[in-house]
Amino acid sequence: MTSASPGAPRRPRRVCLLSVHTSPLEQPGTGDAGGMNVYIVETASRMAQRGVAVEVFTRATSSEHPPVAELAPGVLVRHVVAGPFEGLGKHDLPSQLCAFTAGVLRTEARHEPGHYDVVHSHYWLSGQVGWLARDRWGVPLVHSAHTLAKVKNAALADGDAPEPMARVIGEDQVVAEADRLISNTDEETRQLVELYGADPGRTVAIPPGVDLARFTPGDRAAARRALGIAPGAVVLAFAGRIQPLKAPHVLLRAAAEMLRRDPGLRARLVVLVAGGPSGSGLAEPAALQGLAAALGITDVVRFLPPQTRDGLVDVYRAADVVAVPSHNESFGLVALEAQACGTPVVAARVGGLPVAVADGRSGLLVDGHGDAQWADALAAAALAPGRRDELAAAAVPHARCFSWDRTADALLDTYAGAAAEFADRQRQAMRARLAAGMIEP
């Protein structure tokens, strides 16, 4: 168990995590489950390994969900009934926040005061709940946005709807109220400060990590056999939710351009698309399948359902290159996972991807989403064996710079600092009230 250094603020004993719109128990890669789910699972588990009790509150989406479930030793998931179990998307959830908040507060009220030492909210919906819980419980609020409406709206994908003003206002409120804001990168810190007026002194950049025990280099031939792919194939892969924001269509169009340039490649090319429909991409993968047909590449494209973590290992190891063509990514966990498996990444130069991918060393970054430029980058990384091997060799050490243990330790230190400052402000406020005669000594 890791402890704080002598003289450092005391780390928390018990942490409340809020994840209103998606449960850490859900399978990433479909619906609203994605990188945030992985983030919560990995950091909560590692905080528990350090002796911190963690409770995650999420909205119950099925009558079959137990009130409390164990995610990992020391980590409990509490399912709060708030609104109908099914049929609610993220845009419908603000109307259920009062009911969700009431459920969270009722749970805490069953304990002695001071049960939780800190509240960490994930995504703006949870931040609205965390703001009220912070004031009721007298503990600091730490908030992770994961994605930002103003950033997303500034780089909308074709066919994607802008985030509503209610979310923009809600994010502004949470940014103003949080005692600490956790960003993934310095770029996200800049966005919070410039677009939302965040206090730089309350904003901490803590990069996410990768499960370095699970995502490792391995037998590519075995991974290809598991997926039914020929040993000599050229494999381009995409893993993630099927929605315009993640832009899997960019990979398909680039693959079609590669075949146009080199028709002989068709006999060897395999394009893997692993994931399920999400958000405004609910018509997909049917829409992607239609695009593949329109491009004349149905024979080289294979659609896989959302993969388990171990299933993703096979996808990454089987690929010559993993494509991350998103229009916006606060970080890009897929890019890190693929590199940890020894597979180079071609990614869009957006958000946190320039941190997740070492351009020219562990992968290549692409400006824009044009067919030609993506075909150029994918061909450079996948079709030149020497270059592909160079990128693969650097991918693993780059990924090893990021670990969930490091992320969890940084979060715990941030919690401790926020709690110490929060307690100091409370003492100062008490002294001021005493001096003003507002309360009796």
Residues 191-245: pLDDT tens digits? 999 999 999 999 999 999 999 999 999 999 999 999 999 999 999 999 998 888 8
Please state whether the peptide bond connecting residue 285 to the residue before it is cis, i.e. omega within 30 degrees of 0.
yes
Residue with tokens 């590199």: 339
Give domain 14-209+404-436's CATH superfamily. Glycogen Phosphorylase B; (3.40.50.2000)
Contacting residues for 193 by C-beta, under 8 A, at least 6 apart: 199, 200, 203
Binding-site residues from annotation for UDP-N-acetyl-alpha-D-glucosamine: 27-28, 35, 241, 246, 307, 329, 337
CA–CA gap between residue 269 and residue 220 (Å, rounded): 16
pLDDT for the residue numbered 7: 58
Residue 33 DSSP symbol: B
Binding-site residues from annotation for Mg(2+): 316-317, 319, 343
Higher pLDDT pick, 6 / 58? 58
Which residue in 138, 132, 140, 142 sits closest to 113, CA to CA?
A: 138
Sign of CA dihedral 355, 399, 340, 270: positive
Element (H, E) at 434: helix 404-435
pLDDT for the residue numbered 427: 81
- Give the percent of the chain with pLDDT over 70: 93
Which residue in 339, 326, 360 sits closest to 402, CA to CA?
A: 339
Q: How far apart, in Å, are the Cα atoms of 117 and each of 45, 243, 277?
A: 17, 37, 37
Residue 233, CA atoms < 13 Å, CB-side half-sphere: 24
pLDDT for the residue numbered 29: 60
pLDDT for the residue numbered 420: 94
> Is residue 271 over pLDDT 50?
yes
What is the average per-residue pLDDT within 333-342? 97
> Is residue 2 over pLDDT 60?
no
Residues 242-258: pLDDT tens digits? 888 899 999 999 999 99
Give yes or no for a contact between 127 and 174, defined as CB atoms under 8 angstroms apart.
yes
Binding-site residues from annotation: 21, 27-28, 32-37, 90, 123, 147, 167, 241, 246, 307, 316-317, 319, 329, 337, 343
Element (H, E) at 76: strand 75-80
Residues 387-401: pLDDT tens digits? 999 999 999 999 999
pLDDT band at 72 (very low <50, low <70, confident <90, very high): very high
Q: What is the mean pLDDT of the chain?
A: 92
Look at domain 220-401 and name its CATH class. Answer: alpha beta
Q: What is the pTM of this model?
A: 0.90
- Give the percent of the chain with pLDDT over 90: 77
Binding-site residues from annotation for 1D-myo-inositol 3-phosphate: 21, 32-37, 90, 123, 147, 167
Which residue in 362, 302, 320 sits closest to 232, CA to CA?
A: 320
Q: Mapping DSSP to helix (H, G, I), strand (E, B) and coil, where does residue 134 land? A: helix
> Is residue 282 over pLDDT 50?
no
CA–CA gap between residue 267 and residue 351 (Å, rounded): 36
pLDDT for the residue numbered 430: 72
pLDDT for the residue numbered 69: 96
Residue with tokens 């693993």: 396
- Token pair, residue 25, equals 């128990």
What does the domain layout of the chain look like in residue ranges?
14-209+404-436, 220-401
> In this structure, which amino acid lies at residue 376?
D
Give the burial class of 115: count Cβ atoms within 10 A of its Cβ; 0-12 exposed, 13-18 middle, 19 or more buried: middle
pLDDT for the residue numbered 285: 67
Same fold, 14-209+404-436 and 220-401: yes
Residue 225 DSSP symbol: H
